[in-house]
Amino acid sequence: MGNAYFNEMYDGSEVRVPYEGLSGWADGMPAEFRSLKQTEAEALFRRIGITFAVYGEGGDPDRLIPFDMFPRVFAADEWRKLERGIKQRARALNAFLLDVYGRGEIVKAGQIPSRLVYRNEAFEHAAVGFKPPRGVYSHIVGIDLVRTGPDEFYVLEDNCRTPSGVSYMLENREIMMRMFPQLFQENRIAPVEGYPQLLKRTLASVAPDKCEGEPTIAILTPGHFNSAYYEHSFLADMMGVELVEGQDLFASGDFIYMRTTEGPKRVDVIYRRIDDAFIDPLCFRPDSMLGIPGLMNAYRSGAITIASAPGAGVADDKAIYTFVPDMIRFYLGEEPILNNVPTWQCGKKDDLKYVLDNLPELVVKEVHGSGGYGMLVGPKSTKAQIETFRAKIEEDPGNYIAQPTLSLSTCPTFVEEGVAPRHVDLRPYCLVGERIELVPGGLTRVALTEGSLVVNSSQGGGVKDTWVMAE
Amino acid sequence: MRLNVTHKTTYRFDQPIRRVVQSLRLWPSEFEGQIATEWNVDIPGSVRGSAFRNGAGDWIETSTVTGPIDEVMVTVTGTVETTDLSGVLRGHRERVPPEAYLRTTRFTRPDTALAKLAEGATKGADSPLKAAHDLANAIRDAIAYTPGETDSHTTASEALAKGAGVCQDHTHALIAAAQTLEIPARYVVGYLHAEGSIAEASHAWAELWVEGLGWVGFDPANGVSPDENYIRIGSGLDSVDAALIRGVSQGAGSEELDVDVQVSAADQ
């Protein structure tokens, strides 16, 4: 079974080119030194305060995501292709959003069933007919990818709203550089630390027409009890912008202002890490205490930019995912560079039959689920688990999609007994503003349990530093 | 018909509050059935802004009043020339696709009783328009106009179970019933000139999407389609989404609301 997976470091006994700089690195590491370094890494993560609360698992909500010191590496030419594919996808997703909140050409052309778009819960009435600055809806597109071969990548899902985890990309690198400076002298690794400034520039480039002079940017957080609060404050720090909660902002006249010690200051761009439903009680949920009353009116009158734009979620819905390759052809006139995973919609009769007949081989997910909850990994499940899940699917087929179990690539990982291959995925963060930018890297998640294919941090996954070798 | 409107909404707070922010939907829709010859929205002490037309065609504006203040008064006065279009919303510019209204909210979520009523009422209908009329009539028959039996939180299914309600309940129930037949439907707010018939502060009715005609209004509370006695202001998914005024007040204490609407026909 193990040989069926693509090992990113070893081709038989040969070390693949991008990993040459790491050949012998871990093997030559004495056990005591390794455990010392692991302790040091944990202490560093604790000190900077990067923790991730895990939903629904109980226990310590402030536990660390395990950090694995063995880097995951891409060659420059591998990355070039990935980069083109990711940017292509980010462009198409934004073109789709601009279209469905405008003229709806892709629906009229019969490329995507109208019900999947207009009856989608993530389709916002309030966003219809307003074109955000530069026509951009999703300013930070997180694309979850897996690798199955030397030249084979699949997109698992798109995240067009508020993809989290970029702070891990930055901190993992920072900590690796501190602990193993030598590695970074011996290898030419493309830097990722420019991300916060690139994000700031991207957000500034989508300032509204009514903005005068240098745009004022703020990050809107639901507060310190949110699991990603660390990331919100980290990004605000690194970008040199204010971190605000709803109560720090208020509407007056045409604009939204931030309370500061020097008096009210007009805000031009909000990078919000709050769901649509909560950003404005005058437009969405009236009981929301997290938002700013009047924000949506200010946004739709062109006084402030909201990133991501309200309604962007309709593009990353799992039912829409199937159509992303069609979007790429429709809007860009190009062939998709990255593959979609073949997907069966349980809401369709034929698909449902196939899925129910082949459950032991498939991965089944809830259409609106995330975080690795509510999913079935057929090959890793017991008969009883499969039967329980079968009942759930039969009860509400439209709520499920299924995909083949992919042979996720592996990367060497530190384990109890030394170093062993473990399955990995990748989430790069593509920035869309006046230009489309991608820092060379992303967040690599690793399934630490032997044989496991679930990399979600909420299901015991860890993270790795991701290297892209410089040209 | 020329209709004069005076609509006063007064919010009184038992303790002075710091701020009030309101989203106003208070301007007459623009379509062939009506034209406002004069229209004013006055809120003493307010800062107004963030004005725009939304995707459903409504004019929206933000109003903020900074305190301490113990009263906010919104006064709407104006004159509208109306024409009877038998409920058809002809010439209205909007961008939201009708199919996007095939969704429910906590107010309009249908239950089996609503689905049954919808199915039974439209059995003999030979056209979409006839079906819409039959549906509106069935809702009127099933929910007796009875003020005081329901409140602003009552849902469509609750009102049907009670068999009693006001225009808000009729409208929610009609929308919910239409949803079960896959007919796009929405909540409409406005004013009604009503001599002797049902006249509430401001009025609500439903619009159903009828293939070939577009959006058509149905007022189940009065058993008619909107005519020259109606002034249309705007629409939404339910009473909260379509509200004339949505507001948030910041401060302690409680709020008392007083609404006074006068709609009269001008002498010709």
A281: nearest CB among B19, B56, B248: B248
Predicted confidence (pLDDT) per residue in A283-313, tens digit? 999 888 899 999 999 999 999 999 999 999 9
CB A211 within 8 A of CB A203: no
- Optimal mutation site among B18, B50, B108, interface A, most CBs of chain A within 10 A: B50
Segment A36-58 mean pLDDT: 71
Question: Is residue B246 less than 8 Å (CB to CB) from chain A?
Answer: yes
* Per-residue pLDDT band at A1 (split at 50, 70, 90): very low
Query: Is the model's pLDDT at A56 over the cut of 50?
Result: no
User: How far is the C-alpha of A120 from the C-alpha of A285, rounded, in Å?
Assistant: 17
Question: Band of the pLDDT at A62, cuts 50, 70, 90?
Answer: low
d(C-alpha A53, C-alpha A66), whole Å: 13
Asked if B152 is an interface residue toward chain A (Cβ–Cβ < 8 A), one would say no
Q: Residue A187: enclosing H or E segment and its boundaries?
A: none
| Side-chain half-sphere CA neighbours of B61 within 13 A | 16
Q: What's the CA gap between A215 and B131, in Å, rounded? A: 54
Q: Quick one: pLDDT at residue A4?
A: 78
Query: How many whole angstroms separate alpha carbon A452 and alpha carbon A422?
Result: 8
Contact status, residue A58 vs residue A100, Cβ threshold 8 Å: no
- Name the residue among A123, A255, A282 with its Cβ closest to that of B23: A282
Residues on chain A touching B20 (C-beta within 8 angstroms) = none
The pLDDT of residue A60: 53
Using the beta-carbon criterion (under 8 Å), do B100 and A119 form an inter-chain contact? Answer: yes
CB contact under 8 A, A286 and B246: yes
Quote the CA–CA distance of B215 and B184 in Å, as a whole number: 9
- Min distance B52 CA to chain A CA atoms (Å): 5
Nearest to A251 among B21, B53, B237 (CB): B21
Find chain B residues with C-beta within 8 A of A305's C-beta: none
- Which residues of chain A have a CB within 8 Å of the CB of B96? 125, 128-129
Could you give all domains of chain A from N- to C-terminal order, each with its CATH number?
2-208+304-336+407-468 (no CATH), 209-303 (3.40.50.11290), 342-404 (3.30.1490.270)
Ranges of beta strands (E only) in B25-143 are: 34-42, 46-53, 59-82
**Could you list the pLDDT tens digit for every one of the 268 residues in chain B?**
999 999 999 999 999 999 999 999 999 999 999 999 999 999 999 999 999 999 999 999 999 999 899 999 999 999 999 999 999 999 999 999 999 999 999 999 999 999 999 999 999 899 999 999 999 999 999 999 999 999 999 999 999 999 999 999 999 999 999 999 999 999 999 999 987 555 566 899 999 999 999 999 999 999 999 999 999 999 999 999 999 999 999 887 788 999 999 999 886 5
Contact A212, A268 (CB under 8 A): no
Distance, in angstroms, between B18 CA and closest chain A CA? Answer: 12
The H or E element that residue B58 is part of is none
Whether residue B66 and residue A252 make contact (CB cut-off 8 A), yes or no, is yes
Measured CA to CA, the distance from residue A92 to residue B209 in angstroms comes to 32
Among residues B134, B13, B7, the alpha carbon closest in space to that of B72 is found at: B13
Average pLDDT over residues A420-425: 95
- Nearest-angstrom CA–CA distance, A457 and A459: 5
A104 and B248 within 8 Å at the Cβ level: the answer is: no
Q: What is the mean pLDDT of residues A51-55?
A: 51
Average pLDDT, integer, range A48-60 = 53
A286/B240 Cβ within 8 A:
yes
What is the least distance, in Å, from the CA of A295 to any CA of chain B?
A: 9
Number of CB pairs, chain A paired with chain B, less than 8 A apart:
100
- The answer to whether A282 contacts B61, with C-beta atoms less than 8 Å apart, is no
Rounded-to-integer distance, Cα B3 and Cα A420, Å: 81
Distance from C-alpha of B244 to C-alpha of B204, rounded to nearest angstrom: 11
Chain A positions in Cβ-Cβ contact with residue B95 (cut-off 8 Å) = 102, 128-129
| Shortest Cα distance, chain A CAs vs residue B97, angstroms | 8
Predicted local confidence at residue B67, as pLDDT: 84
Residues 52-111 of B with CB under 8 A from A: 52-56, 60-62, 64, 66, 95-97, 99-100, 102-103
User: Per-residue DSSP letters for A288-337?
Assistant: -SSS-TTHHHHHHTTS-EEESPTTGGGGS-HHHHTTHHHHIIIII----S
CATH number for the domain whose boundaries are B85-227: 3.10.620.30
CA angle A252, A255, A259 (to 5 degrees): 70
Separation of alpha carbons B7 and A465, rounded Å: 64
Q: Which residues of A touch B (CB under 8 A)?
A: 101-102, 104, 107, 114-115, 118-119, 121, 123, 125-130, 250-255, 281-283, 286, 293-294, 297-298, 300-303
Q: Could you tell me if B247 lies within 8 Å of chain A, comparing CB atoms?
A: yes
Pairing of the two strands A10-11 and A14-15: antiparallel
pLDDT the model gives residue A417: 84
CATH architecture of B2-81+245-265: Sandwich (2.60)
Backbone phi and psi for residue A377, each to the nearest 5 degrees, phi listed first: -105, 95
Q: Do B99 and A114 touch (CB under 8 A)?
A: yes
Q: Which residues of B touch A121 (CB under 8 A)?
A: 103
Q: Do B19 and A115 touch (CB under 8 A)?
A: no
- With contact defined as beta carbons under 8 Å apart, do A74 and A468 qualify? yes
Interface test mutation site (partner B, options A108, A284, A297, A306, max chain B beta carbons within 10 A)? A297
What is the pLDDT averaged over residues A221-231?
Answer: 89
C-alpha torsion A3→A5→A9→A10, nearest 10: 20
* CA angle, A142 then A318 then A65, to 5°: 45
Which residues in chain B are contacts of A286 at CB distance < 8 A? Answer: 240, 246
With contacts defined as CB-CB under 8 Å, which chain B residues touch A300? 50, 52, 54, 60
pLDDT band at A55 (very low <50, low <70, confident <90, very high): very low
Q: How far is CA A266 from the centre of its chain?
A: 30
CB contact (8 A) between residue B60 and residue A104 = no
